[in-house]
Amino acid sequence: MTSPGTELAASPVRRRAYWHAAVLLVVLLGGLYLARRHWPVLESGAGRLAGADQGWLLVGATAALGTWAASALAQQGAVVRRLPGSRLVAAQFAASAANHLLPAGLGAGAVNLRFLMRCGLPPGRSASALAVKAAAGAVVRLTLIALLAPFSPGLLRLPNLSATALGLVLGGAVLLAVLLATPLWPRCRQALTAVLADIRALHACPARAAALWGGSLAFAGLHSTVLIAVTRAVGLSLPPLQVALLYLAASSAAALLPTPGGLGSLDAALALALTVSGAPGAAAASAVLGYRLLTVWLPLLPGLLVLGVLVRRKAL
């Protein structure tokens, strides 16, 4: 017979399980809706992927495995204290799986935050480390886009802003002005000051700065390599630098949409980018399917199992 205290302690666990199941159900339903809506293109793309070059797919799978090591290197670079290497890589693998269940990177952020706190970092310092890593990743992506764009002139064009888009930009500016006038701004400024202080401290240690920027660069480069390998596997003859530029631009645009792991937003952005660059619809769909297969669907179940093991061992 269970005591009332045990039942009260178990109720939050059940609520979290229900919420996780609900989020997963929403993700699956969204994926099914998109698959049904674009089924003819997906069917032809899947058929083309089934006959893809296995050697290039192996190259893509190897690059996908390297993304978690690169993410771990960047996370270590965002922290002055030395982190346990094997658990750090396992946490990045688990975080990538959790990131596909919650929107806007919340899953990966929650896993990494718990991991850093388990390693002895205070909550504020842990959150600052995540912000430093995210900022470095964004700077690296934008820098790579600026460097690669001249090699593919005319590939990236600014869209014509509609009245709705202009309204959204204006609304964002108004919200920012309101934020600056509210009592929340001192807290935001304090958090920003802490992040800048951490960045200065990290760059005082050359090894940490090299890990932060090198890991961020490797992460973006390896994801680009996965897409390049998949395009080669399905017979798309797009130049590798052009594919890398398309990936960086599409992933940067998809990051603005709060969908779980970019589900839907990144797929649509990648397919649109490949199609606009001249790829047939079926070939673009097969490339996106192959990229998602190697980076999301195949590692998802193992990643969730690793997440469960880390939680059970109190590493998170």
Q: Report whether 117 contacts 123 (CB < 8 A).
A: yes
Termini Cα distance of the chain = 30
pLDDT of 155 above 70: yes
The 3-state DSSP class for residue 301 equals helix
Classify residue 39 as exposed, middle or buried by CB count within 10 Å of its CB (0-12, 13-18, 19+): exposed
Whole-angstrom distance, CA of residue 244 vs CA of residue 240: 6
Give backbone dihedrals phi and psi of 252, rounded to 5 degrees, phi first: -65, -40
Residue 7: predicted pLDDT: 46
The pLDDT of residue 205 is: 87
Confidence of residue 58 (pLDDT cuts 50, 70, 90): very high
199-215 pLDDT, tens digit per residue, is: 787 888 899 999 999 99
CA distance 275 to 119: 45
Confidence band for 10, pLDDT divided at 50, 70 and 90? very low
Q: How far is CA 171 from CA 163, 175, 182, 184, in A?
A: 12, 6, 17, 18
Identify the band that residue 191 occupies on the pLDDT scale cut at 50, 70 and 90.
low
From the list 252, 228, 248, 251, the residue with the least C-alpha distance to 238 is: 228
Arithmetic mean of pLDDT over the chain: 78
Q: What is the pLDDT of residue 136?
A: 93
- Tell me whether residue 219 is exposed, middle or buried, using C-beta atoms within 10 angstroms of its C-beta: 0 to 12, 13 to 18, 19 or more: buried
Return d(Cα 55, Cα 53) in angstroms, integer. Answer: 6
Contact 169, 269 (CB under 8 A): no
Number of H-type helices and E-type strands within the chain: 13, 0
Compute the distance between CA of residue 3 and CA of residue 17 in angstroms, rounded to an integer.
Answer: 21
Mean pLDDT, residues 157-178: 57
Q: Does the pLDDT of residue 309 top 60, yes or no?
A: yes
| Length of the chain as a residue count | 316
pLDDT of residue 51: 72
Residues 285, 52: contact at Cβ < 8 Å?
no
How far is 37 from 267, CA to CA, in rounded Å? 14
Range with the largest mean pLDDT of 164-173, 231-240, 250-259: 231-240
Burial 73-93 (b: 16+ CB within 10 A, else e): bbbbbbbeeebeeebbbbbbb
Cα distance between residue 118 and residue 126, in whole Å: 10
Which pLDDT band, with edges at 50, 70 and 90, does 222 fall under?
A: very high
Burial 99-121 (b: 16+ CB within 10 A, else e): bbbbbbbebbbbbbbbbbebbeb
